[in-house]
Structure 1
Amino acid sequence: MNHRPIIIGVAGGTGSGKTTVAKEIFRQFNEQSIVLIEQDAYYKDQGHLSMEERLHTNYDHPLAFDNDLLLQQLQELREKRPVDKPIYDYANHTRSAEVIRIDPKDVIILEGILILEDEKLRQLMDIKLFVDTDADIRIIRRLSRDIKERGRSIDSVIDQYTNVVRPMHLQFIEPTKRYADLIVPEGGQNKVAIDLMVTKIRAIIEAKSLLT
């Protein structure tokens, strides 16, 4: 195929199920040329900061992301050129020296909490999703994940959620719902919405194939 790739944005708050939705769409198209790109990989490099300064980074604020690099690499992929996607080292709170080579694909799924907040990113997307899940479910999922997978204490997770995650969600993430083409309630559990999304993507792929 010679057409430019389809870019699908999947946004939503922490613990909303957006990653599950993105991975389920990815799974449905495993016979296609498809790639999943996480906005989390594009946190800014903090190698110039002390560890103490890095520990105070607000990862839920738009300024935490290197959207310039993300935009540049999406545009390269649209032009059928490979890119080296960064890897974020959460242990050292900065970008790793290693990268992942991403080859051009026909479908690109871009997933992250703040991908709809950036107008330039939105303009690249063919379809924009917002995964909308109740706050009580999201905090339970966040608690479970951070305690089991990241060795955090209950108190530290609750403190971060109350003082950073929740206010950032209300200020920056929740308002981006208005940019979505489709709002998906309950995340990965919403099989109907995912099936509709998959059908729509297939129709776009077929239409673009006919045009080339």
Structure 2
Amino acid sequence: MKIIGIAGGTASGKTTIANKLGDLSNQFGQVNIIRLDDYYLDHPELDLEERRKINYDHPNAFDTDLLVKHIGDLNKNQSIDVPEYDFVNHARKISTKKVQPSKVLIIEGILVLAIKEICDLLDIKIFVDTPDDIRFIRRLSRDVKKRNRTLDNVIDQYLTTVRPMHKVFVEPSKENADLIIPEGGHNSIAIEMVFKTIIDLLNK
């Protein structure tokens, strides 16, 4: 199994690129996509207000051990049950998603290249580089419309954790990338290049 990591700042276009690559490559063989966000640690011991205050942009917010184990299981040709995260309630859902082994696995998330245990497992490392102002506008729109956040809540979270953690962890992880894609999912040339690489991996 070959593993592709797609990292970048919040709302940079990581998911769009992962989905486009998955759709293209699935014409030739199965490609799985796993979101790092679904591996947020669960905190049932905290109430909703306390969970809202967690720094979700720090590497410690993720269940890295579980993700690494799941990657190992897929490499052993074993299926896994991927957790699903509820961003409205800041908690894992009861339901999980069954993922079967495949030739190619895409892992996308802001800290995929910043968490060493994950980065070391990647065969291809991609960083999506989108301007800060565009990313903030996208995040603001997404969180208000889809995650039941208020304008003030989004701005406060962005200033207190998202932006500082981007500077400390996400931006420096760009140095680990094999390929940097400007403008996210709108960069059709870069997506085509990665797609051809995936096809080569599938045909080996």
Q: Please give the TM-score of this superposition, normalised by the length of structure 1.
A: 0.91
**Residues in 2 aligned to 1:91 and 1:144: alpha-carbon distance in whole angstroms:** 15
Residue in 1 aligned with 2:143? 146
66-75 vs 113-122, greater mean Cα deviation: 113-122
Letter matched to residue 111 of structure 1 = E
**Residues in 1 aligned to 2:87 and 2:45: alpha-carbon distance in whole angstroms:** 16
Q: Do 2:82 and 2:98's aligned partners in 1 also have CA atoms closer than 8 Å?
A: yes
Structure 1 stretches of 5 or more lacking a match? none
Structure 1 residue 133: Cα displacement: 0.4
Residue in 2 aligned with 1:35? 32
**Residues in 2 aligned to 1:99 and 1:155: alpha-carbon distance in whole angstroms:** 32
Residue in 2 aligned with 1:19? 15
Residue in 1 aligned with 2:109? 112
**Structure of larger gyration radius:** 1
**Residues in 1 aligned to 2:188 and 2:153: alpha-carbon distance in whole angstroms:** 34
SS in 1 for 2:11: coil
**Residues in 1 aligned to 2:86 and 2:179: alpha-carbon distance in whole angstroms:** 32
**Residues in 1 aligned to 2:12 and 2:88: alpha-carbon distance in whole angstroms:** 24
**Residues in 1 aligned to 2:50 and 2:145: alpha-carbon distance in whole angstroms:** 26
Structure 2 stretches of 5 or more lacking a match? none
- Deviation track 1:128-183 (CA, whole Å, cap 9, x = no partner) reads 10000010110111111112222322222122111111001001100000000000
Residue in 2 aligned with 1:203? 200
Residues 157 and 52 from structure 1, CA distance in 2 versus in 1: closer, same or farther, beyond 3 angstroms?
Answer: closer
Residue in 1 aligned with 2:190? 193
Does 2:142 match 1:157? no
**What value does the CA root-mean-square deviation take over the aligned residues?**
1.2
SS in 2 for 1:188: helix
Structure 1 residue 113: Cα displacement: 0.5
% of aligned pairs identical?
49
**Residues in 2 aligned to 1:6 and 1:119: alpha-carbon distance in whole angstroms:** 17
**Residues in 2 aligned to 1:94 and 1:144: alpha-carbon distance in whole angstroms:** 21
138-147 vs 45-54, greater mean Cα deviation: 45-54
Q: After the TM superposition, list the runs of 4 or more consecutive aligned residues in structure 1 that deviate by more than 4 angstroms.
A: none
Matches within 5 A, 1:56-135: 56-135=53-132
Letter matched to residue 121 of structure 2 = L
**Residues in 1 aligned to 2:170 and 2:197: alpha-carbon distance in whole angstroms:** 25
SS in 2 for 1:124: coil
Letter matched to residue 24 of structure 1 = K
34-43 vs 158-167, greater mean Cα deviation: 158-167
78-87 vs 45-54, greater mean Cα deviation: 45-54
Structure 1 residue 192: Cα displacement: 0.4
SS in 1 for 2:41: coil
Structure 1 residue 89: Cα displacement: 2.4
